[in-house]
Amino acid sequence: MEIWTLTGPSGTGKSFQAIDITRNHNIDGVIDDGLFIYKGTVVAGESAKLAATKVGAIKAAIFNDPRKAEVVRRAIESKAPASILVLGTSDEMVDLIIERVGLGGGQEPVHRLYIEDITTEDERSEARTQRENYGKHVIPAPALDLKRSFAGYFLDSLGLFKGRLRHQDEKTVVRPSFSYIGEYVLSEKVISDIVRIVADEDKAVSGVIMVTQDPSPGNYVVNVAVRITSACSLWDDMMIFQQKIKDAVETMTAFNVAEVNVEVRGIEYHGRY
């Protein structure tokens, strides 16, 4: 297995550049911030960007937990990539990661790349601005692969339109919970209003009785109790209504919803129920 490394200070655009590097050098796998990504798909690991603190994020990125390191080691062994790119802030960090996930039997990386050699100072400055001013972090994987892990977080997909966009060319921006730019809070009434608007436009629903929610990062849940019309096809129409709520909340808030639970509490017949 060929081992490549990319190092540079935090917030200088390493994850953003990783896709270009893997494409240009035909590299199959990436290890970045606790994740093993193979051909554009997250295969194993737990993103450091899910950590509640910066210290926790560092521990996750260097696989400080032997059990999580073993899971990633087995995944790499299963996929058997011909080459892999390891990202970190220093040679010492990437070497530690290589050791902990059992790469290369202790061999030295074949190629060591440095962010200063592949980007300009202006590009690194812009990356630092996005990190420091907006708390944005890039993961070199599609948003679709990350939605389950990052429900309740901001996700913004970045496609590289160089020729035809490929799944493995997609990047995702997240704002981790340890971001220091402050907390984004939505009033419960906002979600309730979105749900009621969706219900008003759905002929199968005659009224919304109650909307509750659990906005915890990683597990954003919306619970809705409704009355339906007598002409409604209960199962099919409620599944459609459920999906409409999910799509509307995600589109209008930029959050990712883990669950929408719809409870039918009544049926309306000609204005009575």
pLDDT in tens, 223-243: 999 999 988 888 999 999 999
pLDDT at 260 over 90: yes
What is the tens place of the pLDDT at every residue in 98-115?
Answer: 999 998 666 667 799 998
Tokens of 33: 């911030």
pLDDT for 187: 66
pLDDT at 82 over 80: yes
User: What mean pLDDT do residues 239-261 have?
Assistant: 84
CA-angle at 33, arms to 91 and 150, nearest 5°: 170
pLDDT for 168: 44
More confidently predicted of 27 and 124 = 27
pLDDT for 153: 47
User: Does domain 188-268 match CATH 3.40.1080.10?
Assistant: no
Hunting for tokens 């099919």 — which residue is that?
236
User: What mean pLDDT do residues 208-217 have?
Assistant: 82
pLDDT for 67: 93
Least confident segment among 84-88, 115-119, 256-260? 256-260
User: What mean pLDDT do residues 180-204 have?
Assistant: 77
User: What mean pLDDT do residues 165-180 have?
Assistant: 44
Tokens of 175: 């704002």
Q: Which residue intervals of the chain bear CATH 3.30.70.1350?
A: 188-268
pLDDT band at 144 (very low <50, low <70, confident <90, very high): very low
Length of the chain: 273
pLDDT band at 268 (very low <50, low <70, confident <90, very high): confident
Share of the chain above pLDDT 90, in %: 36
pLDDT for 244: 94
CA-wise closest residue to 14 among 27, 1, 33: 33
Name the helix (H) or strand (E) containing 22.
helix 14-24
pTM for the model stands at 0.56
User: What mean pLDDT do residues 69-75 have?
Assistant: 94
* Cα 73 from Cα 65, distance rounded (Å): 12
pLDDT for 81: 92
What is the tens place of the pLDDT at every residue in 35-59?
Answer: 898 887 778 888 766 666 778 888 9
